[in-house]
Structure 1
Amino acid sequence: MADAEIPLLDEEKSFSGSVEGCPGCKAILIVRENHGFPKKLLFIVANMMLCNSLPIAVIFPFLYFMVQDFHVTKSDADIGYFAGWIGSSFMAGRALTGILWGTIADKYGRKPVIFCGIMSIIVFNTLFGLSKSFWMALTTRFLLGTFNGLLGTMTAYATEICSEEHVPFSVSLVGSMWGVGLILGPALGGYLSQPAIKYPGVFAGTIFDSYPYFLQALVITIYAVMVLAQLAQLPETLHKHEVFANDGKAGAYDPKESLLRNFPLISSILVYCIWAFHDIAFSETFSLWAVSPKRTGGLGWTSTDVGQALALSGLALLFFQLVIFPSLTRLFGPILLTRAVTALSIPLLVLLPSLTSLEDTWLRVVVTVIAILKCCLGVSILSMIHGTVWLRVCISTQRGAANGLSLSVVSLFRALGPAVGGSVFAFAQTRPHASILPGDQLLFFFLGATAFISVLSTFPPFLPQSTNKPIIEDDF
């Protein structure tokens, strides 16, 4: 675009390349007026990330009991199969449309995608809470994932509403609010599911007696409505004109070609996929194992017990990410940190089923430690993808597409995780007296093996050593 076509702005607010009427340029002005750190916008982004993560994590404490209430299984040993399908349905829907939502965000703007994502939570999460059959639960979770492109879009948006020196904080904020969702989601699912049974004096004879999993959905929906009302305050960040690359030439960076040929980006996505498969398989099967009867090798916990354990691990995750993780990353780099945390979790995973003979207090401590290690692993992987790779390989006009590509591929692996993990859990329940890996020993051997593969994938040539560089301000 010629210089003559660029309107002259007030010197105090002007910047090179600004175009009158462009929402992305207006967003830059807002950022500069707030000295590169718009606290109000970041607060709204934090709320939206929390709103997005709650429906994902909320189901694990009560999914076993929900499937049991549907009466679709011939025996309790089959519950894992059906629970795995419900757990996979959200990610399956997101895998189908992740690239589409990323493309829409880059072509039409971030806000339309954010609006659709929040609306999907309001509509389909509510219907999921009202599910009275397996097929209704499966369908509503699938549609919730299909119309939800929030994660990739909000990750891109968070990097666009701050000046360069504050981008590391905005990236950390996205991960932190995901951690808060890991705290509140399982807690909501654990405490608010089956309220007529847990709190009969308040909920007996009410709608929550007929729909035992509606209360947690209603609370999340109310919060989503409040978050939706904040959307009007967010500026659009997509530019409606050609964006110049670092060399000053429009179109010098071909997004369609560069994304697939960018080896650090693609390899990092694949590493993330392997970890994502393991992580969600662990989250689902851990909850199924914890609430399954002791006679089948489980802990016999209630949904409240599971919610408490996951909430405690979420609190530890938040402390780790905000206080410990930045220093460790600067010392070792995210990849080495990921390897260490994963390696520590493998022997604990394999030994976990044999520790069920411990006293209840010690068993809860061990279980919580393992959950904390798994959460810390998730933080280091997310930081590696979104911090050390994402912002180096993608210019602003690519971030939606790059996050959309990642969202679809990773969601596919996350969809396979619960289905495969649930099937392994169900199969393990049918062989409690096998000579090799009896009962749940098979399940946790499977989880340990996938964690080991995750470690191997972080070594060259699978992952370039250059991605181990910590986040520093000069990178942006």
Structure 2
Amino acid sequence: MHIDPQDYEEHSSHKEKATPLPKMQIFIIMLVMLAEPISSTVIYPFVNQFVRDTGITGGDERKVGHYAGFIESAFFLAECTTVFHWGRLSDRIGRRPVLLLGPIGLAASLFTFGFSNSFWTLLIARCAQGAFNGNIGVTKTMVTEITDSTNIAQAYAWLPVMWSSGITLGPLIGGLFAQPARRWPQLSNIKFLVHHPYFLPCAIAGMLALTSFLMAYMGLKEVSKFRTSKSCRLIFLANLFYDYSSGEESPLLSNDLPRKYGSHPTEDSSSEISTLAPIEKEIPLKDLLTRPLLIALANHAFLAFLDQAHQAILPLMYSTSISLGGLSLRPRDIGLVMGVWGAFNAVLQIVFFSRIMKWLGPRTMYITCFSALLVTFSAFPVLNMLSKTTGSTNAMVWITICFQMTFYVAVFMGYGSIFMYVTASAPNKRSLGATNGLSQMTVSIARAIGPALSTSLFSYSVQKNILGGYGVYLCMTVLSLLGLLLAVRLPEHVWEEKEV
């Protein structure tokens, strides 16, 4: 779907009324999307102890981080290998069956993870979680297809809200419900929870995934007009699920054309519905990699890499002792900071994203939001310097933390901006699913590398006393500047159709 590059100016000048959002469809899609950040982060509070309990380290504490890193990175590595194929499959058999399959597999893999007692079972289950989360790109495709140029910014404002909400809820669930028999002695009579102390948080995350499946099964409508060939070997996947949301028992891939949201049925539309949608040619991968898409993908990957690096450094730096370059904050304090930030971020994204988008336009907004990374990374050494002056986290430190996290909210607004460039760079509508799948694949790779690289640089900077232990922040700042050089290559408006 290509967004007219003059849309933002026209809507600002002519005050065109925005098409109402299909709220129920948006809600269901966002619920499915919420499963990714929750399932990826729910294990963080207890994964290190879980690894110790498996016995894989042989009692060597120094190996815990090594094996825990494997499990944490396996999610995004598995996701990146499947996300493009989920997107391509959705172009062939429709969006709805792909979105319904994901939560089922995710729930099963989460239950398996919590039930495991060996390291290799944990690793396999973690890979399965990432693989079934590979359909996350399809959710973004559906958001694009059920909106138009008047309301797409309003819908995209919810995308970073879901991510920030998920990375707040995930660790909260994992930390609160891990080892329940030890936390609540009255549950010690339940032997299953004693023998499987990490099953409960995984089960809660799995139930959330099943809830999203049930909601999608009952209410999600198919939006893709493309019909797969009868010879397609995967047609049975489409026939597994019927679209009951319209009140009729009609196959998902019927001969009917879906009516555009915000439009009104007319006499002509009834005759039009009986015709089959024209099938656009499926574009090979090599032809999909156009210059506009490569620029959009590179910017999306850079943002995800630095964002994930920031998320990994923040709790590590906050919990490290002041003498070693941190703040000596307790886990409770760090959780409070992240929880308040998550709520604050969600509210600001919903209230201000679409308004700022109309005011600045996608390019200026993305560059401005990306620039906020320079402030957030630079705040880390300032925080430590302030703490060293008094030997504790004084009021000035907390004010600086608030300042840092406020700018981090701006970073998240950059996602909605770059999403528009990615979807608009699709060569045609038939390749929209593959385009978003390719985008999510590159982002998954970036998110797998970001935490490992940033935390390793943090440890190396402290151990070797590089720039007084602040060397990691210089590296992240330089990478942020390189990302800005890439950001300015984006056009003033989203890609015009003739450019693709």
Structure-1-length-normalised TM-score: 0.77
- Structure 1 unaligned regions, length at least 5: 1-34, 470-476
- Aligned equivalent of 1:102, options 72, 75, 87: 87
Alignment of 1:190-269 (within 5 A): 190-197=175-182, 199-204=183-188, 206=190, 207-232=192-217, 233-241=219-227, 251=280, 256=285, 259-261=288-290, 263-269=291-297
Contact 1:106 1:398 in 2 (8 A): yes
Match of 2:491 in 1: 465
Match of 1:401 in 2: 434
Secondary structure of 1:235's counterpart equals coil
Match of 1:30 in 2: none
- Aligned equivalent of 1:413, options 446, 458, 482: 446
- Aligned equivalent of 1:341, options 361, 372, 386: 372
- Larger deviation: 35-44 or 337-346? 35-44
Match of 1:370 in 2: 404
CA distance in 1, matches of 2:87, 2:336: 35
Match of 1:311 in 2: 339
- Aligned equivalent of 2:150, options 134, 144, 165: 165
CA distance in 2, matches of 1:250, 1:116: 24
* Structure 2 CA distance for partners of 1:130 and 1:252, relative to 1, 3 Å: closer
How far has the Cα of 1:205 moved from its partner?
5.3
Match of 2:423 in 1: 390
CA distance in 1, matches of 2:493, 2:405: 26
CA distance in 2, matches of 1:60, 1:273: 23
CA distance in 2, matches of 1:185, 1:353: 28
- Larger deviation: 139-148 or 326-335? 326-335
Secondary structure of 2:221's counterpart equals coil
Identity over aligned pairs, percent: 24
CA distance in 1, matches of 2:385, 2:60: 24
Secondary structure of 1:466's counterpart equals coil
Letter paired with 2:490:
P
Per-residue deviation, residues 302-344 of structure 1 (Å, max 9, x unmatched): 5444333222211121122123333433344323322431222
Structure-2-length-normalised TM-score: 0.73
Per-residue deviation, residues 376-427 of structure 1 (Å, max 9, x unmatched): 31321x1122124423645432210101111112211211123323433454
CA distance in 2, matches of 1:119, 1:464: 38
Letter paired with 1:235:
K
Contact 2:39 2:170 in 1 (8 A): yes
Contact 1:101 1:404 in 2 (8 A): yes
Contact 1:54 1:184 in 2 (8 A): yes
Match of 2:466 in 1: 436
* Structure 2 CA distance for partners of 1:279 and 1:136, relative to 1, 3 Å: farther
Contact 2:179 2:193 in 1 (8 A): yes
Secondary structure of 1:165's counterpart equals coil
Contact 1:62 1:193 in 2 (8 A): yes
Per-residue deviation, residues 105-158 of structure 1 (Å, max 9, x unmatched): 111121222122102220112222334444333332222112322310001112
- Aligned equivalent of 1:143, options 100, 118, 128: 128
- Aligned equivalent of 1:274, options 283, 289, 302: 302
Per-residue deviation, residues 57-104 of structure 1 (Å, max 9, x unmatched): 333344444445556287656544333322211110011112111111
Contact 1:189 1:303 in 2 (8 A): no
Count of matched residue pairs: 421
Contact 1:349 1:447 in 2 (8 A): no
Letter paired with 1:322:
I
Match of 2:44 in 1: 60
Alignment of 1:450 with 2:479, yes or no, is yes
Contact 1:194 1:213 in 2 (8 A): yes
CA distance in 2, matches of 1:194, 1:299: 28
